[in-house]
Structure 1
Amino acid sequence: MRKRYAICGVSGRALGMFAKPILTTFAGSCELVGLLDRDPMRFELYRSRYPEHADVRTYGESEFDRMVDETKPDVIIVAGRDDTHAQYLIAALERDLDAITEKPMVTTGADSRRVTEAEKASKGTVIVTFNYRYAPIHTKIKEIVQEGKLGRITSIDLNWYLDTYHGSSYFKRWNRDRELSGGLSVHKSTHHFDLVNWWIDQRPVEVFAFGALNYYGAEAEANPKKEDGRFCSTCAYTEDCSYYSRWNARSRNLNVPDDHLGSLEAGKTSAFPYSDYRPDRCIFDSEIEIEDTYTATVKYSGGALLSYSVNFSLPYEGYRLAINGTKGRIETVEYHMPGRTPFPTPVQTIDYFPLFGSKETIHVVHREGGHGGGDPLLLEDLFMGEDRRRPFRMLSGAVDGAYSVATGEAVWRSVKEHRPITIEEVLGSGTDTSGSEAQQCQESLSGQGGRA
């Protein structure tokens, strides 16, 4: 019997990451029975992309209960705008349904708590699709740490870089509104915080951070003219805009690969398949107030300290990572999207330095597929059940999602309030970040893995 899925939020990610594999790769065991969204044009986009499956029933944003009653799904997939996630996750759990959600799980610590409490009262469980865990290099790092080759983890250095194409894309879209996305320390950095939490198997306790808006907004040095309300596809100043001219030929026929704006044809407003939303707003609008640069220090429950930075406007994309322990250190450098990097990039390896001994360079088998080969493996776990042969859990649960969101919120709150922020402040006084309650909740989730 095939498992039945309904999708809340017919985004580009929903269509490519979830609907497509359900309708193709996993069609033998999965069935798409319902779509829910506020914009009817998104249903038309779905039908044009998958005409042979155009009969899937569609519902408005307030028709969740009706959709469940009529289509009887087993699993709800939540893939709309970040601020809508909590609403549909809680609604699914109240109906005792399993839920799969795109990251971030929600946008605030308060909503994180609402979701985890709803899950405790439900027969359903939540899975957060942190696909970075599944990249082979990241899985190998987890293995090295778990095997004890580094000893007790003492500190982590993680510097994440987004290039001028990808980084600026967040400031063209709804992500630039903190009310909708939680800001980039939540929307984007939750990926990074989840990786660290998972690698070292410790919980974040306290955060101190600095942040700034350096590259985007009206006061940016690269702004060719202080004028609000422009759109890239119709702007008169594109030849004077370094961010636009770097990635677009004057004839506007240059195709830059990216999974965030990949469904749009540059320069053709008819390619925007939405009723009241355009993802080509000017990155120099004065309404932009979220940060594009962060540095943060995070203290963990087991004594580890994270030194983290992220920059959303750099010449190339990737990260530099070092993890230190009482027995040694590992280092790795990744260049993401090498086709957009203006210089040759080496294949990523891991260097292991024992505290006393010889250096080892570890070569990891790389896989095809999005996010470093992680997406296909994640989809198998989502739609076939988690691979139980692994020595550790890969899928993220609601508690994982909550801690990553809470860390991101603590970052921007620390920036605004100029003080350390505890995770307990963000998630609420009832959340035990140092004792056994949160760990028991996590263990409970691990025991239910693969249901969705």
Structure 2
Amino acid sequence: MSDERHRVALVGTGHRGAGMWGKELLAGWRDRAEFVAVCDVNELRASHARAEVGTNAPIFTDVDTMLAVAKPEIVIVCTRDDTHDEIIVKALEAGCRVITEKPMTTTPEKCRRILEAEIRTGRQIDVTFNYRFAPTAARIKQLLMENAIGTVTSVDFHWYLDTKHGADYFRRWHAYEKNSGSLFVHKSTHHFDLLNWYLDSTALEVSAFGTQRNYGRNGPFRGERCMTCAHTQECDFYLDIRKDPWLNTLYDEPAEVDGYFRDGCLYREDIDIPDTMTAMLRYENGVIVSYSLNTYMPIEGHHLAFNGTKGRIEIRQYERQAFETPDYDEILLMKNFGKVERIRVPHYSGGHFGGDDRLRDMLFRPGTPDPLGQRAGALAGAMSMLCGAAALASVKQGRPIKLKELGGLPDGIQI
């Protein structure tokens, strides 16, 4: 195994960048990663993040200058979703390896641009689909690879975001389609990638519905942001960002520089993305999928079931609820004409039940085995993002959308 320590540039110093790919990376992988640059368009946020991360790397506000001066080997992209393509392409053309947060990008056109740049430069892109690395997801993948339920014919997949996590997307930049591509892209890219990986296949067609039923114009009152709102006593969603030192440091004071605050009103009338979504997907291998995403539930987690010719695999994963939950996940393996096997997978410490740590090992510890194919490249990033783009197009056009219609792949790559 190589002992090489890589020169790393962190681009984007919000919660995810400064946390998982900053502070946490140095805490466990300092022997593999050395920060040579911290880059953010908001210099004050970058300065605060650098202190939180614990590095003396120079700060840059311009990617071109950073690449020319710092000369990183690896660029980690944690900026707003719609800016990923510009940074990824520049990093590839500068000879860097790229690690990018999901979604890889937000539109088919940007997707194609990234894939063409990867082919042209010969450099590698890793997309950080950490849910693949969660222990329970890995166990399900093993069962499917073992044909535990025969041929998979259909999947039921329903994701629930609670009134903390789900609401948070509508406070921030994610609430606008131009920034995030909608939650069909930003959030569902996780879920579509899991489906693509579990099924070892490619979605061909998506038919979807999406509507806004709880946030945006549905609110009984509204303001600009929680901190200045006149309705703090009557709003169930009131958030005092000053009570969270981490978020306060990264967002409140830096808001003076660029005007971006993290506690925007959930009921802003210009929010233009759905908060209630369903989709049907048809796969190349014949599997059909029923999917939904709801963003204002009293529960956090998901329900997932694989239906096969010889049985069913089912799980209800509890991430956060109003009631007591176990410290393990239970997978039900049900065989036709047979007994039910209950497979318990313990929860591990760290983000995504230990998945974040396993992902960082894969990316920064060469030689880490990958028998389940958990490491995800640009094509995986493209296929999950295109599922989301097709779902959004279906909502807008009122018809099923074939992924090949979107034109998000370079010539020679077929769906």
1:358 partner letter: K
Give the Cα separation in 2 of the matches to 1:23 and 1:428. Answer: 35
SS of match in other structure, 2:112? helix
Q: Note the C-alpha offset of 1:22.
A: 4.1
2:357 partner letter: P
Aligned to 1:445: none
Give the Cα separation in 2 of the matches to 1:381 and 1:254. Answer: 36
Question: Is residue 2:289 matched to residue 1:289?
Answer: no
What are the equivalent positions in structure 2 for 1:343-354 lying under 5 Å apart?
343-346=323-326, 347-354=328-335
What are the equivalent positions in structure 2 for 1:334-349 lying under 5 Å apart?
334-337=317-320, 341-346=321-326, 347-349=328-330
SS of match in other structure, 1:215? coil
Distance 1:292 1:45, change over 3 A: same
Q: Note the C-alpha offset of 1:106.
A: 0.4
Q: Note the C-alpha offset of 1:357.
A: 1.4
Q: Note the C-alpha offset of 1:270.
A: 4.6
Which deviates the most, 14-23 or 301-310? 14-23
Which deviates the most, 313-322 or 344-353? 344-353
What are the equivalent positions in structure 2 for 1:42-61 lying under 5 Å apart?
42-50=45-53, 53-54=55-56, 56-61=57-62
Aligned to 2:235: 241
Distance 1:395 1:438, change over 3 A: farther
Give the Cα separation in 1 of the matches to 2:206 and 2:7. Answer: 41
CA shift digits 1:313-336 (9 cap, x unpaired): 111111111001122110000111
Aligned to 1:20: 23
CA shift digits 1:1-57 (9 cap, x unpaired): 421111222222111111224433222222110122211112221233245x23x12
2:368 to 360, 368, 387: 387
SS of match in other structure, 1:19? helix
2:42 to 30, 39, 42: 39
Question: 5+ residue gaps in structure 1?
Answer: 256-260, 440-452
Give the Cα separation in 2 of the matches to 1:319 and 1:164. Answer: 15
Identity, % of aligned positions: 40
Give the Cα separation in 2 of the matches to 1:57 and 1:274. Answer: 19
Question: Is residue 2:356 matched to residue 1:375?
Answer: yes
Give the Cα separation in 1 of the matches to 2:271 and 2:148. Answer: 45
SS of match in other structure, 1:350? strand
Q: Kindly indicate whether the alpha-carbon contact (under 8 Å) linking 1:424 and 1:431 is maintained by their aligned counterparts in 2.
A: no
Give the Cα separation in 2 of the matches to 1:202 and 1:262. Answer: 43
Give the Cα separation in 2 of the matches to 1:264 and 1:100. Answer: 24
Distance 1:200 1:253, change over 3 A: closer
Q: Kindly indicate whether the alpha-carbon contact (under 8 Å) linking 1:37 and 1:59 is maintained by their aligned counterparts in 2.
A: yes
SS of match in other structure, 1:162? strand
Distance 1:26 1:115, change over 3 A: same
Distance 1:325 1:43, change over 3 A: same
Give the Cα separation in 2 of the matches to 1:126 and 1:68. Answer: 17
SS of match in other structure, 1:377? helix
Which deviates the most, 190-199 or 270-279? 270-279
Distance 1:262 1:168, change over 3 A: farther
1:281 partner letter: G
Distance 1:75 1:270, change over 3 A: closer
Aligned to 1:449: none
Aligned to 2:387: 407
Question: Is residue 2:9 matched to residue 1:10?
Answer: no
Q: Kindly indicate whether the alpha-carbon contact (under 8 Å) linking 1:406 and 1:427 is maintained by their aligned counterparts in 2.
A: no
Give the Cα separation in 1 of the matches to 2:214 and 2:262. Answer: 18
What are the equivalent positions in structure 2 for 1:194-233 lying under 5 Å apart?
194-218=193-217, 220=218, 223-225=219-221, 227=222, 229-233=223-227
Q: Kindly indicate whether the alpha-carbon contact (under 8 Å) linking 2:100 and 2:126 is maintained by their aligned counterparts in 1.
A: yes
Give the Cα separation in 2 of the matches to 1:170 and 1:262. Answer: 20
What are the equivalent positions in structure 2 for 1:144-293 lying under 5 Å apart?
144-218=143-217, 220=218, 223-225=219-221, 227=222, 229-244=223-238, 263-265=246-248, 269-270=252-253, 275-293=258-276
Which deviates the most, 355-364 or 395-404? 355-364
Q: Kindly indicate whether the alpha-carbon contact (under 8 Å) linking 1:224 and 1:241 is maintained by their aligned counterparts in 2.
A: no
Question: 5+ residue gaps in structure 2?
Answer: none
CA shift digits 1:420-448 (9 cap, x unpaired): 0111012347567xxxx459xxxxxxxxx
Q: Kindly indicate whether the alpha-carbon contact (under 8 Å) linking 1:130 and 1:191 is maintained by their aligned counterparts in 2.
A: yes
Distance 1:371 1:128, change over 3 A: same
SS of match in other structure, 2:279? strand
2:208 partner letter: A
Q: How many residues align?
A: 410
SS of match in other structure, 2:92? helix
1:82 partner letter: D
Question: Is residue 2:285 matched to residue 1:302?
Answer: yes
Q: Note the C-alpha offset of 1:359.
A: 1.1
Q: Note the C-alpha offset of 1:85.
A: 0.5
What are the equivalent positions in structure 2 for 1:112-127 lying under 5 Å apart?
112-127=111-126
Q: Note the C-alpha offset of 1:237.
A: 0.7
SS of match in other structure, 2:164? helix
The CA RMSD measured in Å over matched residues stands at: 2.2
1:361 to 342, 363, 373: 342
1:401 partner letter: G
CA shift digits 1:225-254 (9 cap, x unpaired): 2x4x5211121112221223xxx6xxx699
Distance 1:410 1:32, change over 3 A: same
Q: Kindly indicate whether the alpha-carbon contact (under 8 Å) linking 2:42 and 2:254 is maintained by their aligned counterparts in 1.
A: no
Q: Kindly indicate whether the alpha-carbon contact (under 8 Å) linking 2:316 and 2:330 is maintained by their aligned counterparts in 1.
A: yes
SS of match in other structure, 1:329? strand
1:379 partner letter: R
1:283 partner letter: L
Aligned to 1:70: 69
Q: Kindly indicate whether the alpha-carbon contact (under 8 Å) linking 2:300 and 2:318 is maintained by their aligned counterparts in 1.
A: yes
Which deviates the most, 299-308 or 347-356? 347-356
Distance 1:272 1:316, change over 3 A: farther
Give the Cα separation in 2 of the matches to 1:50 and 1:424. Answer: 42
Aligned to 1:107: 106
Q: Kindly indicate whether the alpha-carbon contact (under 8 Å) linking 2:97 and 2:125 is maintained by their aligned counterparts in 1.
A: yes
